[in-house]
Every structure is written in C-alpha cells, then in structure tokens.
Amino acid sequence: MSLTLRTISREQHLAFIQSQPAASHCQVPAWADVKTEWRSENLGWFDKSGELVGAGLVLYRQLPKIKRYLAYLPEGPVINWYAPNLDDWLQPMLAHLKHQGAFSVKMGPPVVIRRWDSTAIKAGIQDPDVKRLKDVEATHIEPRAFEVADRLRKMGWQQGEDGGAGFGDVQPRYVFQVPLANRSLDDVLKGFNQLWRRNIKKAEKAGVEVVQGGYEDLAEWQRLYEITAVRDHFRPRPLSYFQRMWTVLNNEDPNRMRLYFARHNGVNLSAATMLVVGGHVWYSYGASDNIGREVRPSNAMQWRMLRDAYAMGATVYDLRGISDSLDETDHLFGLIQFKVGTGGEAVEYVGEWDFPLNKLLHKALDIYMSRR
C-alpha cells in the first residue's frame, strides 16, 4: 500500500477522529489549543485512492535560542499500528518533521502490550516477593504489540525511559481501565470490591448527591483542586488552564469535557473532570476537600461517572495513570489500591518512543532535561 502524507485541516482531522471507534484525547485537534506553549500541526495519511486513512496531532516545542524543535505526538499518531509496512507510515512522517525543523521526534503509540485483571494484581500485592506489576504474570498479552516494538527498534526508534523527561508532558505507560463492552451495569458493580460497594452505599445513605457542573463552576473546582495540591504536594495548574480546556474542547464537541461534584448538605466535597472521545471515557483530574471523607464522596462520584460513561455507550472507563509499583511502602501505592477496587484491569502500553533526527541536539536535550 503506497501512502502519502500531508498536512490536513482541523475539520478533516476531526472528521477522521470521529470515524474511529476511539482515539486519545491528546490526539483531537482541539488538544493543540489546550497546549498553547506548543506550536501544532495536523497530519494526514492518504492511501492510493486518496482516502484519509490516518491522522496525527503534532506539537512542536522550540529549543531555547535556536529554531529547532522537539516534535511530539502524545498518544499518537492514529494510524494502523499493526500494518506489516509500518515503515511506509512512519518514514514520510519523519521526513516531514525533519523538514519542519524537528531535531527529535517523540510519539506514544496507542498500542497495549499487557493487561492484568484485579485478581492478579491483588495476588501480587499479597505476595512479599512481588514489587512491580511486571513481576506478576499478565492475564492477557498482545503478541502483535511486541512485533510493533521490534519494528520500531529496527527503524531506529528508541524506547523512552519509563516516565522519562519530556517537558513534563510525558503520558503514562501504565493506566487503569474498567472495561464496559458487553457487560451489564450490575456486572460492573459486582466487579467492585466489598469496600467500594460498601462506600457507595454509605454515600447514598448519607445523602451525598453527585451533580454535573458547567464553565461557571470551574472556580469551585479550582478551590478543591488547590486543597488537593497542598495535601498531595504537587504544583496545581492555574484556573485559566481548566477554563481554556473547557472552552476549546467543548467548542470542538459539546460532550468532550464534563465536570462533576459530589456534595453533602450543599457543600462540595470532591470534584472531577471527565473527557470523552468516541467509546473511550477518561476520569482525567480529581480533587477533594480535607473534610467530609467519612461520607465517601469520591466513591459516589466515580460510580456516577462510570454509569454516565456506560449510558453514553462507552466501551472503556479509563482511570488514567498508575505507577507499576505494588510495594505498600511506595507513596504511589494508594493510587493503584483505590483503582483496583473498581474491579478493572491494569494496562501497559508500549510506552513512548524517540527518534533523534539530530543526535547531537537530542543528546543535549536529554542532558538538559535530566538536570531540571
């Protein structure tokens, strides 16, 4: 199959994404408007008959002082990753990006390599010899993903370090997902562990209500998010970031981003943002107050979001990143523990890959990032 690559309009790009069963929210055209510190471009792959068969959102970040760029395709591009002629897809892209002044290309193929169900993860947590997810036998392995990784290596792509550098925008390699396809909601609820089911009941009994918010409620979201940032020691994004995200994503598709609050006696105790692209729904940011935890607002909110995702016809509810550590002393362990309670599965992607178009500048960037 001979392919040609050229830049496409945002409208063409969006129409292609809408024709797919799902794609990452980092690959929709409007994501470029969220990431204002990057320059962006929409790429399209066309087959012999002139049909658009693949698309990619490229973000360009300029190096200090010189007109050379890191080209980044977060969780993309959206192409046929299992094509035996992967070269024919990626070589034209590299040639184009080089022509645009890129010294290095980073991409994140949306290709799943392994899955672990909750039972396997729980057994791993209980085993004192197990410290990481990869020490646990996977419930499902995708052999085609290993072929993709082999092809990339042969082409000269290098596997990025796990959670490595990348201007702080590196996407998680391990995520936690609740599969919804071909399951009833009853079945999904039965998959939750006892503690989760008890907490959902507790919230219901206490009269916790979960409501959807709008743009005007983002300031209240920010209040809870900043409380969370202090408690969990991270630097919060500013309110303007979420306002921009809301505006640009919902202008592209009125159902792209949602905001939820769990409240008790009229007081908002927790909040979350949700992103929707086709059949893939993400819980993207979460926040909670230091008060009212005994009425379990976060469990109530997740259950409502999951039910809404199900009602939209979603095939997967994605709780986003987890660490691969199963060590109870690890500071990120609580995250996987909370998510495992939903009865979903840990999912490992093939991770991010780099192609140094200019080895010297690529190396300089690596050194610069490691010192930050």
Q: Does the residue 299 lie in any domain?
A: yes
pLDDT tens digits along 198-254: 999 999 999 999 999 999 999 999 999 999 999 999 999 999 999 999 999 999 999
68 with 135, same domain: the answer is: no
Structural domain of 28: 2-107+351-368
12 with 115, same domain: the answer is: no
Q: Does the residue 149 lie in any domain?
A: no
317 with 263, same domain: the answer is: yes
Q: Does the residue 120 lie in any domain?
A: yes
119 with 194, same domain: the answer is: yes
Q: Does the residue 238 lie in any domain?
A: yes
Q: Does the residue 154 lie in any domain?
A: no
Q: Which two tokens stand for residue 23?
A: 């794609």
Q: Does the residue 285 lie in any domain?
A: yes
341 with 305, same domain: the answer is: yes
Nearest CA-CA partner of 285 in 345, 226, 359: 226
**What is the spatial distance between Cα 136 and Cα 144, in angstroms, rounded to a whole number?**
20
301 with 280, same domain: the answer is: yes
**What is the spatial distance between Cα 267 and Cα 105, in angstroms, rounded to a whole number?**
46
Ordered per-residue pLDDT tens for the chain, 372 residues: 689 999 999 999 999 999 999 999 999 999 999 999 999 999 999 999 999 999 999 999 998 888 899 999 999 999 999 999 999 999 999 999 999 999 999 999 999 999 999 999 999 999 999 999 999 999 999 999 999 999 999 999 999 765 433 334 478 999 999 999 999 999 999 999 999 999 999 999 999 999 999 999 999 999 999 999 999 999 999 999 999 999 999 999 999 999 999 999 999 999 999 999 999 999 999 999 999 999 999 999 999 999 999 999 999 999 999 999 999 998 889 889 999 999 999 999 999 999 999 988 888 777 766 665
pLDDT tens digits along 353-368: 999 999 888 887 777 6
Q: Does the residue 318 lie in any domain?
A: yes
Count of H helices and E strands in the chain?
A: 12, 16
257 with 126, same domain: the answer is: yes
130 with 101, same domain: the answer is: no
134 with 9, same domain: the answer is: no
Tally the domains of the chain: 2
Q: Does the residue 278 lie in any domain?
A: yes
175 with 100, same domain: the answer is: no
CATH number for the domain spanning 50: value is 3.40.630.30
64 with 26, same domain: the answer is: yes
Label the pairing between strands 39-46 and 52-62: antiparallel
75 with 128, same domain: the answer is: no
Sheet (strand 353-356) strand order: 4-7, 39-46, 52-62, 69-73, 102-107, 353-356, 158-159
